[in-house]
């Protein structure tokens, strides 16, 4: 038995040795050429395993090699010279000798590691990180993957901008892509892989007014939200006579013809009905819905003023409390009583969520449910787009709250409004106040101050002289 085992081991070892011999034979240099006027440690060579030329350079006794991805000897020589420059540059700056250390993809991965660490420290949201990674994977990395960061100049960036433009992306989205590329190159500059971040081509971003609802439209949305409470709506996809995919929204109990394939069922809730009022009177963002618990809400009565103080977790670098309109107080109390009556929260509900508290462990799903319900309201009321083509989403309720203060507030201070809405005066001016016209504030434009006498220094001195003369 032992003899047999030794024989079997010897047989396996023989096969392994034979396989290794084949590998060695296929990777052995079949042709080798040194690069004129360069160290002899640098050369290009061919091997049986591939049709391309390879380059090799010895650094401190270690071989650094890379495929040239070309069958042309002339192109391989030029590649080897560039390879030599990169490796020696890395050595001078204390970077790993391998050329891949200075590739765009390598710098991108290092930058994303730093961004991931920011998420762990709470300096960056997971959503922002995920969006950035998606954009890198979608367009940026496929274009720059095989480029060295030091090769990326204005013209390379301009070519990339041209490619993005072919994707029919909006100017703001293109600007975001270019911003991410700049981030990688800035990371490369900090690591001293490049001397400086190259000049970037300009992307002209046209500010687009945010979608919001007029008072008449707001009442239509509120009424529709009330009609739909308790209904189960089927969302179905089908192709029309022209082969274009369309969406059908239909009550699950309806006897009307149901078209195409069922995509999902959406339960219309009382929470959405109250959310429409709450957001239009509180300035909160849709993402705040995910995190807002009862412990973040204080009901305040100060003299004649009644409001909610929302001490929400920080969003977009802002952490100031939000002061709501009075209507938000009644909305909050009504919804809380509703949840209590349905057993969705207990008497001690400080840690329960204000909206859709039944989804305690999956708040992302809770927000998605509200967004899907709101889409149905937009379909029903035909208010999904504004007159200028701006889309209306759950976010439009926040825009509506800000617009109503600009329109109906008595001498509203934009700095105060911006701070309370956790944004900036610049954002108010660029996006929210953009739809404002002179006609909307005709009272303010045509208002007049009370007549009053204004004295300058000379007039006041003359009055004093006249008074002194008359007294004599």
Q: What is the DSSP string of 26-46?
A: HHSEEEEEEPTTS-TTEEEEE
> Mean of the pLDDT values across residues 390-398?
91
Q: What are phi and psi of 353, to 5 degrees?
A: -85, 150
> Across 116-130, 138-152, 354-368, which has the greatest mean pLDDT?
354-368
Q: How many CA atoms does the CB half-sphere of 392 hold within 13 Å?
A: 26
Handedness of CA 397, 403, 407, 410 (dihedral sign): positive
**Residue ranges with strand state E in 123-253:** 232-239, 245-251
Q: What would the two tokens of residue 284 be?
A: 């909160």
Q: What would the two tokens of residue 99 be?
A: 């050329």
**Residue ranges with strand state E in 311-401:** 322-323
pTM score above 0.85: no
- Dihedral in degrees, nearest 10, Cα atoms 426, 431, 435, 438: 0
Per DSSP, what are the bridge partners of residue 121? none
More confident residue, 69 or 332: 332
DSSP 51: S
The string of pLDDT tens digits covering residues 242-275 is 889 999 999 999 999 999 999 999 999 999 999 9
Phi-psi sector, 353: left (phi>0), alpha (psi -120 to 50), beta: beta
- pLDDT surpasses 60 at 446: no
Per DSSP, what are the bridge partners of residue 318? 315
- The answer for residues whose C-beta is within 8 angstroms of residue 404's C-beta and 6 or more apart is 215, 280
Q: Within 10 A of 120 (CB to CB), how many other CB atoms are there?
A: 9
- pLDDT surpasses 90 at 181: yes
The secondary structure of 138-162 as a DSSP string is IIIHHHHTT-BGGG--HHHHHHHHH
Class of residue 48 by CB neighbours under 10 A (exposed 0-12, middle 13-18, buried 19+): exposed
The answer to whether residues 89 and 81 touch, using CB atoms and an 8 Å cutoff, is: no
Q: How far is C-alpha 345 from the geometric centre of its chain's CA atoms? A: 33
Mean pLDDT over all residues of the chain? Answer: 84
What is the SS3 assignment for 144? helix
Determine the Cα–Cα distance for residues 71 and 54; give it in Å rounded to an integer: 10
Determine the Cα–Cα distance for residues 447 and 443; give it in Å rounded to an integer: 6
Percent pLDDT > 70 in the chain is: 82
- pLDDT surpasses 80 at 178: yes
- pLDDT surpasses 70 at 204: yes
DSSP 103: B
The answer to whether residues 286 and 269 touch, using CB atoms and an 8 Å cutoff, is: no
**Domain annotation for the chain: domains and CATH numbers:** 2-101 (no CATH), 103-190 (1.10.150), 215-230+268-445 (1.10.443.10)
Q: Within 10 A of 392 (CB to CB), how many other CB atoms are there?
A: 24
């Amino acid at each position: 038995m032992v003899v047999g085992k030794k024989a079997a081991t010897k047989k396996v070892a023989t096969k392994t040795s034979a396989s290794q011999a084949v590998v060695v034979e296929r990777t052995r240099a079949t042709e080798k050429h040194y690069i004129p006027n360069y160290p002899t440690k640098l050369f290009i060579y061919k091997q049986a395993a591939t049709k391309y030329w390879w380059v090799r350079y010895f650094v401190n006794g270690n071989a650094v090699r890379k495929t040239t991805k070309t069958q042309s000897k002339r192109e391989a020589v030029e590649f080897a010279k560039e390879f030599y420059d990169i490796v020696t540059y890395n050595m001078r700056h204390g970077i790993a000798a391998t050329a891949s250390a200075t590739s765009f993809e390598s710098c991108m991965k290092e930058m994303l590691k730093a961004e991931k660490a920011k998420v762990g420290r709470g300096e960056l949201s997971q959503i922002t990180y995920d969006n950035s990674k998606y954009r890198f994977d979608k367009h940026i990395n496929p274009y720059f993957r095989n480029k060295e960061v030091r090769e990326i100049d204005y013209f390379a960036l301009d070519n990339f901008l041209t490619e993005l433009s072919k994707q029919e992306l909006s100017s703001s989205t293109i600007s975001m892509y270019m911003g991410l590329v700049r981030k990688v190159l800035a990371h490369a500059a900090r690591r001293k892989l490049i001397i400086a971040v190259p000049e970037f081509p300009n992307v002209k971003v046209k500010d687009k007014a945010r979608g919001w609802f007029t008072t008449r439209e707001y009442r239509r949305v509120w009424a529709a939200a009330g009609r739909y409470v308790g209904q189960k709506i089927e969302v179905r996809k089908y192709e029309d006579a022209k082969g274009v995919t369309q969406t059908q929204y239909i009550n699950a109990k309806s006897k009307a013809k149901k078209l195409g394939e069922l995509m999902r069922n959406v339960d219309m809730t009382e929470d959405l009905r109250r959310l429409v009022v709450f957001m239009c009177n509180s300035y909160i963002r849709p993402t705040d819905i995910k995190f807002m618990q009862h412990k973040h809400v204080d009901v305040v009565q100060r003299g004649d003023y009644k409001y909610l103080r929302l001490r929400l977790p920080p969003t977009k670098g802002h952490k100031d409390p939000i002061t709501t309109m009075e209507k938000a107080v009644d909305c909050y109390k009504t919804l809380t009583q509703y949840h209590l009556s349905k057993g969705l929260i207990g008497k001690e509900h400080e840690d329960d969520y204000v909206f859709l508290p039944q989804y305690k462990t999956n708040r992302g799903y809770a927000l998605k449910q509200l967004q899907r319900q709101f889409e149905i309201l937009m379909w029903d009321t035909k208010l999904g787009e504004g007159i200028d083509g701006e889309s209306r989403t759950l976010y439009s309720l926040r825009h509506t709250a800000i617009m109503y203060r600009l329109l109906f507030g008595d001498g509203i201070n934009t700095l105060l409004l911006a701070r309370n809405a956790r944004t900036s005066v610049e954002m108010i001016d660029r996006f929210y106040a953009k739809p404002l016209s002179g006609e909307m504030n005709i009272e303010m434009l045509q208002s007049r101050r009370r007549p009053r006498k204004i004295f300058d220094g000379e007039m006041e001195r003359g009055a004093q002289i006249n008074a002194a003369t008359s007294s004599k």
